[in-house]
Structure 1
Amino acid sequence: MTSAERDPEFENLLIYLRQNRGFDFTGYKRSTVMRRVSKRMQSLTIENFEGYLDYLEVYPEEFNYLFNIILINVTTFFRDSSAWEYIGEQILPNLIKNKKTSEQIRIWSAGCASGEEAYTLAMLTGEILGVEEFRQRVKIYATDVDEDALKHARLALYSAKDIQTVPDELRQKYFEIVGNHYVFRQDLRRSVIFGRHDLLQDAPISRLDLLVSRNTLMYFNSETQGRILARFHFALNDNGYLFLGKAEMLLMHSNLFIPLELKNRIFTKVSSVNIRDRLLIMANSVDEESNSRFSRQFRLREMGFDTAPIAQIVIDLSGILVMMNEQARTLFALSPKDLARPFQDLELSYRPIELRSLIERAYTERRPLNLTNVERYLSNTEMQYLDVRITPLEETSTNFLGVSIAFHDVTRYIKLQEALQRSQQELETTNEELQSTNEELETTNEELQSTNEELETTNEELQSTNEELETMNEELQSTNEELQTINNELSDRTAELNRTNIFLISILRSLQTGIVVIDSSFNISIWNYMVEDLWGLRIDEVLGQSIFSLDIGLPVEQLRSPIRDSLAAKKQFQEMILDATNRRGRQIKCYLAITPLLGIEMQGAVLMMADVEKVKSMISTQEMEERQQQD
């Protein structure tokens, strides 16, 4: 045992990480983990592991930094290109050749980090099958324990530097450019399924054709490597392949895998006979000395489970059917071939009741779920009733192994209960019918008597209704006359208003001076054509705008104070001359007169403005004309 394993403070830290965050690093190489943790402690100037554990308790966000240090996510596209070339030219074509055209191809990338390895597999498989067949047949399961890395992998967003190792032809075919990044094709991304998976605690993905775990095993100690490899052996099909990293060997596990191409670390599985043997191999990897005792106990438990009087199945955490007893096989027509199949692929998962969502609910609520009187149609006329109990199987308080589902046939009890209920209902119905017959006879006489009274009452009501209708007709005629009068008045007022508006517009057009009318909020209400000619803005551009927001040649800010005085009735008349620039860009002297708007409810001000030179010119012209007339 190394010094790292003897350090009680370091062991307490590992136990704390497992209990509080679900990361079990006890199977990793102690020297590697200790070195990575010590590196993080140095950046925080913490001297011992006990102090770092206290720091984690006070600052929970520190877990993220620690895991990023320990879980070294080093990966690239086509890393070790010669090995990937062998996979693309030899392994994948041979794997596909041995498959029927309708069979699914299942690949697992364990320890996928940020997803480059999984997308490399997708590109190589897509090149062989073609894009359409790839979407229909291929499932690539990519897993890691690092949630941050998985989030990045799901986005499939990479920089130009990240995809330097991708050949140009594949880069153009499988990546789309978004901004400064490259994104893997979305239609193919649906076939790559990312999820969190702990190789030590979670059940392996099964029925695999290719398992890729590159440079992941090297971080674990020898005992832990044996346990993981046993799970890999269980996960692979008999003709499946294992692809490891350049730094990994299987010299101590020749009973599980044999090398196919040792240079590139590609291995084939040593086939076992059946599922029971595969489970025993997993047990052997834990403790070789207890193999015989485990085998006997396993067979005893298997026989006890198989002969149970109630139909029962067991599904592991990854959704694979791992056990079913004789009652379940008979009840639901299951066969041994259905073992190790995804439960979602079986009819039982959704008929007679949708079980997949209930399984998730049992995991979430951490308690068994009971469903009673579930209906199952055996034929058009025959119905079966089942009581279903879904029980999550917990290995520890924080870890699930799977779920057990029991089906109890209660059809006989339901049918007996229904027969008793029908008999009771028939007796009650007979009694009610007798009582109602007597009541109906008594009621009939009363109804005959009351009918005559109702007829008389109805006649009176009809007469009263006729009178009300005549009254309403007169009221409607009166109302119609009132509405006609109001309509005539409105027409007269509209005509008068139109005349007034035309008169006002004529006055504004006749004036040879620019007129601007603003309200109390400085917003423009009137802007005549002379102002349009002076500043180059049409009325539809300024109407409702603040005069101080206009970008014209007139220094409108100098008018703010005079306009306020006018609105406040402090001054009745103000005039001034300002330097300005007209719409033609010519410097002018602008005459302005400001007066309050008087005699109406709306408060405001009237601004009169004119080009001084133009006015003088007009006056001179008029004087000359008057002199000519006098002469």
Structure 2
Amino acid sequence: MPGGDADCVAFLQWALPRCALAWPGFRKVRRQVCKRLNRRLGELGLADLAAYRARLEADPAEWRAFDACCHITISRFFRDRQVFETLRRQVLPEIAARTRREGRAARAWSAGCASGEEPYTLRIIWDLEVAPSRPGAALALTATDIDDVMLERARAGCFAPGSLRELPPALTAAAFARKNGLFCVKPAHREGIAFVKQDLRSEAPPGRFDLVLCRHVAFTYFAPALQRAVLARLTEPLRPGGYLVIGSHERLPDGGPGLIPLAEAPLIHRKPPAPCAPAR
């Protein structure tokens, strides 16, 4: 990067707030962003970030390219083990039981799904550990991301071994086939997942959800005002009794009004169930 890390930090501290993004969230991943910015400078034939700043100030359309440089794509299966242990042992079985009583499929939304490890983890746990003891329990998954490249990787469903290092070995053995050195999700565990291009900052999939996961995206990289707007977008379609899951080291803005963190897994927040109708 022309000028080095210090120049890139100064540039990001100037540019990120103009996209409603928060510098503190990018501090540890800035080298990924700076590397992309360096490529962008080469594409534009610019000498340094000072020239790129002048380009942004003169050409509003270039902000879209800068924003694309800020998409953080770190993802892996079973990320945040405590969260997934609680999902597999408590949350998903409870959702399955409730939706079976109500005669409908459960619905989950993975917001900011990157290359698909998160929704595939949910699908695998549901198929192998939840559904077998609950005949008829069905799960429909919607996985959204803004990045076309990440979505194509997600649809391909094949991953390097490092992406699976936290997944329990029994699930790896049951759910994947080896192909050219990669671990590919078996066809049975690809069903019922819709990968959709959406910008979490302004869009949400239609319908209501029993489970929403928004981890290591909005509440790490977005500025506070945008975090509050996104939180409303995430919780509005959440059914009473539904769950919102955030990432490690994240906190909900304003304490997540109307949501109750689980005592054993405080990254999982529950929307209070609807009050029971009074007896007559």
Equivalence for 1:89: 89
Equivalence for 2:78: 78
Structure 2: distance between partners of 1:105 and 1:234: 17
Equivalence for 2:20: 27
Where 1:162 maps in the other structure, the secondary structure is helix
Residue type of the alignment partner of 1:146: D
Structure 2: distance between partners of 1:223 and 1:262: 29
Query: Is the contact made by 1:159 and 1:182 (CA closer than 8 Å) also made in structure 2?
Result: yes
Where 1:148 maps in the other structure, the secondary structure is helix
Structure 2: 5+ residue stretches without partners: 1-9, 42-46, 276-280
Q: Per the alignment, do residues 261 and 79 of structure 1 end up closer, same or farther by CA in structure 2, a change over 3 Å counting?
A: same
Residue type of the alignment partner of 1:79: R
Query: Is the contact made by 2:86 and 2:265 (CA closer than 8 Å) also made in structure 1?
Result: no
Structure 2: distance between partners of 1:184 and 1:157: 6
Cα deviation 1:96-120 (Å, max 9, x = unaligned): 1222264111011111111011111
Residue type of the alignment partner of 2:19: T
Residue type of the alignment partner of 1:99: T
Cα deviation 1:523-554 (Å, max 9, x = unaligned): xxxxxxxxxxxxxxxxxxxxxxxxxxxxxxxx
Give the CA deviation at 1:172: 2.0
Q: 1:223 aligns with which of 220, 225, 234?
A: 225
Q: 1:50 aligns with which of 47, 50, 53?
A: 53
Equivalence for 1:108: 109
Q: Per the alignment, do residues 203 and 272 of structure 1 end up closer, same or farther by CA in structure 2, a change over 3 Å counting?
A: farther
Equivalence for 1:172: 173
Query: Is the contact made by 1:67 and 1:146 (CA closer than 8 Å) also made in structure 2?
Result: no
Structure 1: 5+ residue stretches without partners: 15-24, 274-631
Give the CA deviation at 1:5: 10
Structure 1: distance between partners of 2:78 and 2:235: 25
Structure 1: distance between partners of 2:37 and 2:189: 42
Structure 2: distance between partners of 1:201 and 1:213: 14
Indicate the structure whose relative CO is greater, using CA pairs within 8 Å and at least 6 residues apart. 2
Equivalence for 1:117: 118
Identity of aligned residues (%): 27
Query: Is the contact made by 1:255 and 1:270 (CA closer than 8 Å) also made in structure 2?
Result: no
TM-score (norm 1): 0.36
Structure 2: distance between partners of 1:163 and 1:90: 22
Q: Per the alignment, do residues 175 and 131 of structure 1 end up closer, same or farther by CA in structure 2, a change over 3 Å counting?
A: farther
Equivalence for 2:7: none
Query: Is the contact made by 2:261 and 2:269 (CA closer than 8 Å) also made in structure 1?
Result: yes
Structure 1: distance between partners of 2:22 and 2:67: 15
Give the CA deviation at 1:236: 0.4
Structure 2: distance between partners of 1:208 and 1:95: 11
**1:400-415 alignment, distance < 5 Å:** none
Q: What CA RMSD, in Å, does the superposition of the two structures yield over aligned residues?
A: 3.5
**1:465-484 alignment, distance < 5 Å:** none
Structure 2: distance between partners of 1:38 and 1:5: 9
Equivalence for 2:186: 185
Query: Is the contact made by 2:178 and 2:184 (CA closer than 8 Å) also made in structure 1?
Result: yes
Query: Is the contact made by 1:246 and 1:264 (CA closer than 8 Å) also made in structure 2?
Result: no
Residue type of the alignment partner of 1:268: R
Give the CA deviation at 1:231: 1.2
Cα deviation 1:234-275 (Å, max 9, x = unaligned): 1100010111101111261443312123644110114689xx
Give the CA deviation at 1:6: 10
TM-score (norm 2): 0.76
Q: Per the alignment, do residues 167 and 5 of structure 1 end up closer, same or farther by CA in structure 2, a change over 3 Å counting?
A: closer
Structure 1: distance between partners of 2:164 and 2:195: 20
Query: Is the contact made by 2:241 and 2:274 (CA closer than 8 Å) also made in structure 1?
Result: no
Equivalence for 1:523: none
Q: Per the alignment, do residues 171 and 107 of structure 1 end up closer, same or farther by CA in structure 2, a change over 3 Å counting?
A: same
Q: Per the alignment, do residues 216 and 261 of structure 1 end up closer, same or farther by CA in structure 2, a change over 3 Å counting?
A: farther
Equivalence for 2:236: 234
Equivalence for 2:3: none
Give the CA deviation at 1:132: 10
